[in-house]
Amino acid sequence: MTLSKRERLERLMHGERADRPGVALWRHWPGDDQDPVELARSTIAWQEQFDWDFVKVSPDSGFCVSGWGARSRWVGNNEGNREYTLHPIQNEADWYALQPQDPTAGRLGAQIRCLELVGEGLPKGTPFIQTVFSPTAQVKYLAGKDRILAEIRRHPDAVIHALEVITETTLRFLEAMRHTGVAGIFFALQLATPYELTAEEYKTFGRPYDLRILEAARELYWFNLLHLHGADAYFELVVDYPVPAINWHDRESEVSLAAARERFSGALVGGLRQWDTMLRGTPDDVRAEAADALAQTDGRGFILGTGCVTPVTAPLGNIRAVRQAVEA
């Protein structure tokens, strides 16, 4: 019996088998991501072409911090990310100047309009989720990666003030997008790796704010996906987060899919290398890596995808091979 997308995801979210493994890839849309109409069109076309089990709506990261003055430009990054040209936080006083944003105005409001268009344009019953960056990720965009690591250690109270403001703005955004029909959020954590913050620092500057947002999201939506960004990220620090699905760089981390299956009862999302396999590999490489991922999880609670965003230059044949792998 063929299940609906929601029925399939709900079984996988409970760590069970479904009629087949889940599958979803997502990518950035450079240029298109600066306009809500164009981003919606590209997102819908991507789904029409490949029929993923859920759709991740992927604005550029600047959508959540442009209201505080951050600016960026497109320079051709293979991931589709933009380069920041202005980080508005330059001194301690700048942190305290941040005030909560209106989620219906500026880029936040434009993103809600994008979600409305996606909801109207996708086939009925297609789950779609909105990218939401964690407060620690947003402070990185506001100050720059090098500065934020120093600021957390030099001016912790000022950074905490900013985290409170960002968390409040994010909570308002979650509520404001509710009417669009969105199924949940793709919650992207950053700085939670030993190459950036220590585990103790992340417990102070990351975890409390993550949990406030995820608890609110759990009350509002049914499919929230946690993305743990970076190699060797602190999986153990977030494995108890209130989410039904988790995505991380499983192929670049000590915690494999098999190890995660023993520690997390929900859906595991990943299995494919974004660079070595999706960008530089062949369809045969994709199929082999997908088969290994399925074997690691025994097909239980598993959604095939990349550990992070699919490169914008990935061959279409590799992308088709991902979609075909779960039908075999």
Give the distance from CA 282 to its chain's centroid. Answer: 25
Residues ≥6 apart with Cβ < 8 Å to 295: none
How many C-beta atoms lie closer than 10 Å to residue 83's C-beta? 10
- pLDDT of 184 higher than 90: yes
Predicted model pTM: 0.97
Residues ≥6 apart with Cβ < 8 Å to 273: 251, 252, 281, 289, 306, 307
Rounded to whole angstroms, how far apart are CA atoms 244 and 217? 11
- pLDDT of 1 higher than 90: no
Can you tell me the mean pLDDT for 216-237? 97
Considering its fold, how many domains does the chain have in total?
A: 1
- Give the chain's mean pLDDT: 97
Residue 144: pLDDT band (50, 70, 90) is very high
- pLDDT of 328 higher than 90: no
Strand intervals (E) in 64-163: 71-73, 83-86, 128-133
Rounded to whole angstroms, how far apart are CA atoms 35 and 114? 8
Q: What is the pLDDT of residue 56?
A: 98
Can you tell me the mean pLDDT for 93-101? 98
Angle at 64 between CA 77 and CA 52, to 5 degrees: 65
Residue 233: pLDDT band (50, 70, 90) is very high
The boundaries of the domain holding residue 54 are: 5-325
How many C-beta atoms lie closer than 10 Å to residue 259's C-beta? 14
CATH at 256: 3.20.20.210
Nearest Cα neighbor of 89 from 30, 138, 38 is 138
Q: Which residues of 31-44 are buried (b: 16+ CB within 10 A; e: fewer)?
A: ebbbebeebbbbbb
> How are beta strands 225-228 and 55-57 bridged, if at all?
unpaired
Nearest Cα neighbor of 244 from 216, 265, 219, 274 is 265
Rounded to whole angstroms, how far apart are CA atoms 18 and 150? 47
